[in-house]
Structure 1
Amino acid sequence: MSELDWSDLRYALAVGLTGSLAGAARQLGVNHTTVLRRLDALEDRLGARLFERARTGYLPTEAGALLLEQARRMADQAEEIERRVSGRDRELTGPLRVTTAFVVMEHLLPQPLAEFARTYPGIEVEVVENAFLADLSRRHADESSGWARREADVAIRLSQQVAEHLVGRQLGMSQCRVYARRGAPGLPQTVQPLAALLKDAPWVAFERDSQARVYDGWMRKHLAPSAVRVRVDIFNAAAAMLHTGIGVALLPTFMEPRHPELVAVSEPIDELQVPVWMLTHPDLRQTTRVRSFMQLVGDRIAAQLASAGTPR
C-alpha cells in the first residue's frame, strides 16, 4: 500500500465532521466532485469503505470511525506544532489575522490599525469581522496554501467573560447610553431619567429572540414590546435608524465621535458596562508580530475607551 497522503485525510475528516460531500466542500473551499474524488482515492488506497452513503448523509463505517479518530488527533497535533513554532517567530513580517465585532472595526480599530500598518509595513493584517469569538487554536482550509490558515491570531471582543485558555489584556470598559437624533421632533434632546425613556420614548430595539449579549437581556427585562418601533441586529444598524429620527436606541459611547448628529439622552447605564478584551492563544503570545500588535493597537484602543463618553 502506498503512503497515505495527509491532504486526503483532510477530506475524509471534513466529510466526517459535516456528514456530507456538500458540507465538506464548503468547509474546504472546493467543489463536491473534488471531495468525492479524493475520498474515493483514499478508500482505494486503504482497501476499505470509510462511509456508508445513507439518505441522512455520510455515516462512518467501523473503519471510517477509526480513521477519523486518528485523523482528528493528527490535525490537533499539526495545529499544536504550528502554534508552537509560530510562537517563536521573531520576525516583524508576515500575516496577522485579527477577528473582531463590526462595531469595533468601524469605531475603535481604524486609526490604531492604520498606525500599526505604517509602523510595521512588513506585517500584513487581515481583519475578519464577525459576531462570535473565533477559535484561536483552530485553522480553516485554504486551498491556495495546500492546508489551512488559522481562524485568527488575535481577537478583540466586547464580552463579560472570555475562555480561560486564552491570554491577553482588558483594554477598558465599553459604556452605553441612550441616544436620539439631534433636533428630531418628538424625541428627547437632553438627558432624561431612564425610567421615563423606557416608558414614553419610541425605541429601536434588538432582535426579539437574541439572547447572547447583555444588551439583549436588558431590553427584554426593561422595555415593553409596545414601545418598539423597529428591531435590528447590531449597533451599526441601530445608529443608522437613529439618523432617521424614528426613535431612541442604545449605543456604546465610543460611537459618539462618528455620529455628531446624535445626542445622548441618558446617563451611562451601569448594567450595560462590558469589558473590551484583546486576546490570543498562549502559544502565540511571544510571536513578535502578535506581541507588537497587541501592544501598539491595544494601547491606542485603551486610550479611546478611556476618553469615550466624556463631554465634548
Structure 2
Amino acid sequence: MDWRSIKFDWNKARAFLVTAEEGSLSGAARALGVAQTTLGRQVEGLEGELGVVLFERVGRGLSLTPSGLELLEHVREMGEAAGRLSLAAQGQSQALEGSICISASETYATALLPPIIAKLRRLEPGIQVEIVVANHASDLRRREADIAVRNFRPTEPDLIARKVGDAAAVLYATPDYIARLGHPSRPEDLKVAEFVSVDHAGMMIKAFNLLGLGLTEENFPLLTESHVVMWELVRQGAAIGILDSLIGDADPAVVRVLPELEPLMFPIWLVAHRELATSRRIRRVFDFLADELKR
C-alpha cells in the first residue's frame, strides 16, 4: 500500500461520518461531545483534503451531496473497523480501574441500579460508572454501552448474555382509583378501566388480553414513552399501569389491581460484547451486576 497517498485525518473522517448519520452538525457535536464549530472545521478540512463537497445545507439541516453519499460507505467501513479495534483493545485490558457504561431502561436505571452501583463504588472505587437511560436496546456493537440490562435475549452472534432471573409485571393503581372502579374482583370488571400505555405498537393490549381483560384501544387514553412518567400518572390516580412487582410493591402510594391475577412474566438478561468479556474490569462489573440482580 502506498501510505503516502493517504492524506486525510481520521478524526476529520469521523466528523464526516457522525455528521452524516446525525443529519446536522449540532447533533454530531452532541454525539461526539465536541464544540459544533470544531466539528464544522473538521468537516471543512476533510472536504479540502479530498477536494470534494460532502454536504449541502437544506433548511436547518445538512444533505449529502452525490460525492458525499458515495464516500459515506467507505467511511462507515472505517468507523466499524475503528470500533472493532477499540473493542479488541479494551477486551485485552487487565486494568480494574477505568470507566464503564451500563445501559438500562428508565425503570431499572431509576429503581434497581442506584443501590447496586453505590455498592459497586464502595467495593471498586477505581471504576467510574456511566448509566445510559434507554428504553430501546442500546447497540453494544457500536459502543453505545459496555453492558446492557435487557428483557429479551440477544440474537447477535458477537454478543454474550446471561439470564439473571425472571420478573413479574403486575397491575397497579391507587386505592382511590380502585374505589372509583367499584373495587373490581374479576378480569372482566376492568373493561371500564383506563390504562397508561408505554407502547405505540399495541403489544400491551395483546398481553393484557391474554389474561382475560378484554381491553380495546379506548381503554388506553394515556400514552407516554417514559416509564417514569407512566408510573407518576399511576401514582396520581390517573389510571392503571403495569410495573415490575419488586418496584411496584415497594411504593406505598399504590396497590395491586386484582391481586390474584396471574402476572406477566419476562426475563432479565445481562448483555455485553463478546470481546469485552475478556476485560477484567468489564468482567468484574458484569459478574457483580448478575449477582446483585439475582437477589
TM-score bracket, normalised by the shorter chain, equals: 0.7 to 0.9
* CA–CA separation in structure 2 for the residues paired with 1:123 and 1:254: 28
Alpha-carbon distance change, 193 to 299 in structure 1, aligned in 2, over 3 angstroms = farther
- Identify the residue that residue 252 of structure 2 maps to in structure 1: 260
Secondary structure, counterpart of 1:126 in structure 2: strand
Query: Is structure 2 residue 63 aligned with structure 1 residue 58?
Result: yes
In 1, the alpha carbon distance for the partners of 2:145 and 2:169 equals: 28
Identity %: 26
Are 2:221 and 1:218 equivalent residues in the alignment? no
Match in the other structure for 1:144 = none
Do the aligned residues in 2 keep the contact of 1:203 with 1:249 (CA within 8 Å)? no
Q: Is the 8 A contact 1:187 1:248 kept in 2?
A: no
SS at match of 2:136: coil
Q: 1:211 to 1:7 in 2, by over 3 A?
A: same
Residue by residue over 1:108-158, the C-alpha shift from the partner in whole angstroms, topping out at 9 and shown as x without a partner, is 2122221111111110111111111111121xxxxxxxxxxx321000112
The alpha carbon displacement at 1:80 in A equals: 0.9
Q: Name the CA distance, whole Å, in 2 between partners of 1:234 and 1:18.
A: 23
Compared CA separation, residues 265 and 61, structure 1 to 2 (3 A): closer
- Correspondence 1:154 to 2:147: yes
Matches within 5 A, 1:192-203: 192-196=185-189, 198-200=190-192, 202-203=193-194
Match of 1:49 among 49, 52, 55: 52
Find the counterpart in structure 2 of residue 108 from structure 1: 112
Amino acid at match of 2:267: P
Q: Deviations over 1:215-247 (max 9, x none)?
A: 354358842344446444344333322323334
Structure 2 CA distance for partners of 1:243 and 1:11, relative to 1, 3 Å: closer
What secondary structure does 2:74 align onto?
helix
Q: CA RMSD in A?
A: 3.0
Q: Give the aligned partner of residue 268 of structure 2.
A: 276
**Distance in 2 separating the partners of 1:20 and 1:240:** 34
Given that residues 180 and 189 in structure 1 are in contact (C-alpha distance below 8 angstroms), is that contact kept between their aligned partners in structure 2? Answer: no
Q: How many aligned residue pairs are there?
A: 284
* Amino acid in the other structure paired with 2:279: T
Among 80, 85, 105, the residue aligned to 2:84: 80
Match of 1:93 in 2: 97
After TM superposition, list the pairs within 5 Å mapping 1:132-211 onto structure 2: 132-138=136-142, 150-159=143-152, 161-165=153-157, 166-182=159-175, 186-187=179-180, 192-196=185-189, 198-200=190-192, 202-206=193-197, 210-211=200-201
Q: Does 1:241 find its partner at 2:230?
A: no
- Pick which of 257-266 and 124-133 moved more: 257-266
What stretches of structure 1 of length at least 5 have no aligned partner?
139-149, 304-312
- Where 2:195 maps in the other structure, the secondary structure is strand
Change (3 A) 1:225 1:20: closer
Gaps of 5+ in 2: none
